[in-house]
Amino acid sequence: MVLNDHVDLPTFMQGVSKRNPGQTEFIQAVQEVAVDIFDFMEDKERYHKEQILRRIAEPDRVISFRVCWEDDNGNVRVQRGWRVQNNNAIGPYKGGIRFHPSVTESVLKFLAFEQTFKNALTGLPMGGAKGGSNFNPKGKSDHEVMRFCQSFMTELYRHVGADVDVPAGDIGVGAREIGYMFGQYKRITNQFTGVLTGKGLEYGGSLIRTEATGYGAVYFLANMLKTKNDDLVGKVAVISGSGNVATHAAEKVAMLGGKVVTMSDSAGFIHDPDGMTQEKIDWIKQLKNVRRGRISEYVNEFKGATYHEGMRPWGVPCDVALPCATQNELLGDDARELIKNGCIAVSEGANMPTNLEGVHVFKDAKILFAPGKAANAGGVAVSGLEMSQNSGRISWKADQLQQLLVDIMDGIHGSCVEYGQTKGGYCDYVRGANIAGFKKVADAMLAFGVV
Ligand code: NDP
């Protein structure tokens, strides 16, 4: 075989599968992107010759480490931690940290790969990374979580830095965990720098960061509807998850006149046909962030709502859907069910919540479908703005940041339309996001030569 000769898509994917045995989530994420990029690169010799996609699909490095901590009963516990630094062609590595028993190297590699494209789409100078551990914060005391976070950062600190790699929160990592990790970083290095985002407002955090991912996913949804001269007023919305992204998505849907009827966690979903008011959403935030309870408790508080154990909410009739929990939570049959029930638009608040079959179902039905790497980029965008504020040692006002978030989501929507518009008038947002994100990273990589 001639070296650097054009390989076709199946051969490329065979190579990815061979080099990453058993890493199904990572292979799935690369497949989703590669389909569009191969098509785009068809007549672009340099991207082929310089092996750009092959290089983006090989993380710069995968750091794996042991995290030991002591539980409240004095037992020594051992967990595994990771940081996947995927690509820093356009800026310091950036991406969240996830604490969840389902975390594996494959999950973090898929998230770091996706993050590379997402961060490029924001227009801000940030590379792609992701980290985490199979540690389960659920049911742990605050002291146990603190000891774990301190131990995790005791290793991670040597691999991160304000100009090197700037982690943030993700599933299982909220304000409490970021606080413990930032405290430990500061203690070890004796430096007060913007090494993490999602920080508390008292110590360098940014206004709007907490809301940004959920709000951004709804702004993107509203932008898509606008292309059809439609809006969210009176629309019934089905949302999965009940964490940071889900609650803020629900809040913004309600603010824009829609009616949110579901929320879920890993044990089941609640259906509230009356819709969720701000008061109900605030109650869920308290339940999750302060009492650390389960979504099933909602039905004891709000009459008329029902709990559906072990089920996901996709069978509830709706106009729009926002999957905001986790990867592969919306499968082919769920997608068909949504369409059958009249759903016209889906905006992914979570990362890769729809599996490949589901994505095809949405595309074939030509409904409005926003992939996570575009729709949920508002969170990392405001993280980028937190980095800017930290570098300048200033704090911007909420309305300034709110407007920047709206502008950035408009910009991402515009990029997706630019590269995703098809001849028949349908906008393939997945293709648009993949190509727009790829192009920026690829062109930076071309400038650097073979490194
Ligand atoms: P949270 O930890 O705040 O909430 C996660 C929610 O998803 C919880 O309701 C949780 O339920 C549920 N969930 C988690 N794992 C599973 C599972 N395996 N099956 C079913 N439900 C599950 O996380 P976030 O809201 O921050 O993150 C949600 C999604 O959004 C993730 O995909 C994340 O990567 C993505 N995202 C988050 C950003 C952010 O700024 N936070 C930015 C961009 C993307 P339970 O409590 O039962 O586990």
Mean pLDDT, range 72-100, rounded to an integer: 98
pLDDT of 185: 98
Residues 242 and 179 in one domain: no
Looking at the DSSP bridge assignments, the partners of residue 99 are 133
Cα(137)–Cα(10) distance, integer angstroms:
40
Q: Say if 437 falls within a structural domain.
A: no
Among 56, 76, 91, give the residue marking a domain's end.
56
Residues 75 and 51 in one domain: no
Residues 130 and 181 in one domain: yes
CA of 158 from ligand 1 middle (Å) equals 27
Q: Say if 319 falls within a structural domain.
A: yes
Q: In what order do the strands lie in the sheet with 76-87?
A: 61-70, 76-87, 128-133, 93-99, 165-168
Q: Would you say the CB of residue 23 lies under 6 angstroms from ligand 1?
A: no
Q: How many CA atoms lie within 13 A of 320 on its CB side?
A: 33
Q: Say if 394 falls within a structural domain.
A: no
**Angle, CA 221 vertex, CA 219 and CA 223 arms, to 5°:** 70
CATH number of the structural domain spanning residue 140:
3.40.50.10860
Q: Would you say the CB of residue 348 lies under 6 angstroms from ligand 1?
A: no
The secondary structure of residue 421, as a DSSP letter, is B
Instruction: Kindly report, residue by residue over 220-237, the tens digit of the pLDDT.
Output: 999 999 999 999 999 999
Residues 34 and 158 in one domain: no
Q: Say if 253 falls within a structural domain.
A: yes
Q: Are 98 and 108 in contact (CB under 8 A)?
A: yes
Residues 214 and 350 in one domain: yes
Residues 255 and 227 in one domain: yes
Q: Would you say the CB of residue 169 lies under 6 angstroms from ligand 1?
A: yes
Instruction: Kindly report, residue by residue over 31-70, the tens digit of the pLDDT.
Output: 999 999 999 999 999 999 999 999 999 999 999 999 999 9
Q: Within a 10 A sphere around the Cβ of 447, how many other Cβ atoms?
A: 8
Mean pLDDT, range 122-144, rounded to an integer: 97
pLDDT surpasses 50 at 150: yes
What whole-number percentage of the chain has pLDDT above 90?
A: 98
Instruction: Look up residue 138 and give its two tokens.
Output: 């659920």
Q: Say if 107 falls within a structural domain.
A: yes
pLDDT surpasses 50 at 163: yes
Q: Which of 308, 326, 351, 380 to mutate to test ligand 1, by most ligand atoms within 8 A of the CB atom?
A: 326
Residues 371 and 225 in one domain: yes
Q: Say if 278 falls within a structural domain.
A: yes
pLDDT of 26: 98
CATH number of the structural domain spanning residue 363:
3.40.50.720
**Angle, CA 353 vertex, CA 351 and CA 359 arms, to 5°:** 115
Cα(182)–Cα(184) distance, integer angstroms:
5
pLDDT of 5: 60
CA of 349 from ligand 1 middle (Å) equals 9
CA of 135 from ligand 1 middle (Å) equals 15
CB-based burial label for 136 (10 Å; 0-12, 13-18, 19+) = middle
Instruction: Look up residue 143 and give its two tokens.
Output: 């002291």
For residue 403, give every residue at least 6 positions away whose Cβ sits within 8 Å of its Cβ, in sequence order, or none.
none
Q: Give, using CA atoms, the residue closest to atom 44 of ligand 1.
A: 350
Whether 366 is a known active-site residue: answer no
Residues 40 and 163 in one domain: no
Cα(128)–Cα(178) distance, integer angstroms:
19
Instruction: Kindly report, residue by residue over 356-391, the tens digit of the pLDDT.
Output: 999 999 999 999 999 999 999 999 999 999 999 999
Query: What is the pLDDT confidence band of residue 327, given thresholds at 50, 70 and 90?
Result: very high
Q: Give, using CA atoms, the residue closest to atom 42 of ligand 1.
A: 379
Q: Give, using CA atoms, the residue closest to atom 48 of ligand 1.
A: 266
Residues 52 and 83 in one domain: no
Largest CA distance in the chain: 69
Instruction: Look up residue 210 and give its two tokens.
Output: 């907490």
Residues 45 and 115 in one domain: no
Cα(245)–Cα(44) distance, integer angstroms:
38
Q: What is the DSSP string of 284-323?
A: HHHHHHTS---GGGHHHHSTT-EEEET--GGGS--SEEEE
Cα-Cα-Cα-Cα dihedral sign, residues 436, 441, 442, 444: positive
CA of 71 from ligand 1 middle (Å) equals 25
What whole-number percentage of the chain has pLDDT above 70?
A: 99
Residues 136 and 170 in one domain: yes
CA of 430 from ligand 1 middle (Å) equals 21
The gap between the terminal CA atoms of the chain, to the nearest Å, is 23
Closest to 435 (Cα-Cα) out of 447, 427, 425:
427
Q: Give, using CA atoms, the residue closest to atom 33 of ligand 1.
A: 350
Instruction: Look up residue 215 and give its two tokens.
Output: 């709000």
Among 323, 357, 375, give the residue marking a domain's end.
375
pLDDT of 125: 98
Q: Are 413 and 224 in contact (CB under 8 A)?
A: yes
pLDDT surpasses 50 at 166: yes
Query: What is the pLDDT confidence band of residue 143, given thresholds at 50, 70 and 90?
Result: very high
The beta-carbon contacts of 442-446 under 8 Å, at least 24 apart in sequence, are: 442/47, 442/52, 442/53, 442/56, 444/89, 444/90, 445/50, 445/52, 445/55, 445/56, 445/89, 446/46, 446/47, 446/50, 446/52
> For residue 114, is it left (φ>0), alpha (ψ between -120 and 50) or beta?
alpha
Cα(35)–Cα(54) distance, integer angstroms:
13
Q: How many CA atoms lie within 13 A of 191 on its CB side?
A: 12
Give this prediction's pTM: 0.96
Number of separate domains in the chain? 3
Among 343, 375, 407, give the residue marking a domain's end.
375
Q: Give, using CA atoms, the residue closest to atom 15 of ligand 1.
A: 326
Cα(368)–Cα(80) distance, integer angstroms:
39
Cα-Cα-Cα-Cα dihedral sign, residues 87, 93, 95, 97: positive
pLDDT surpasses 80 at 2: no
pLDDT surpasses 50 at 1: no
Residues 143 and 75 in one domain: yes
pLDDT of 6: 76
Cα(420)–Cα(440) distance, integer angstroms:
16
Give the mean pLDDT of the chain.
97
Closest to 260 (Cα-Cα) out of 195, 322, 342:
322
Cα dihedral 387→388→392→394 (10° resolution) = -80
For residue 239, give every residue at least 6 positions away whose Cβ sits within 8 Å of its Cβ, in sequence order, or none.
246, 249, 250, 253, 260, 262, 263, 264, 313, 321, 322, 323, 324, 349
- Provide the domain limits for residue 154: 61-192
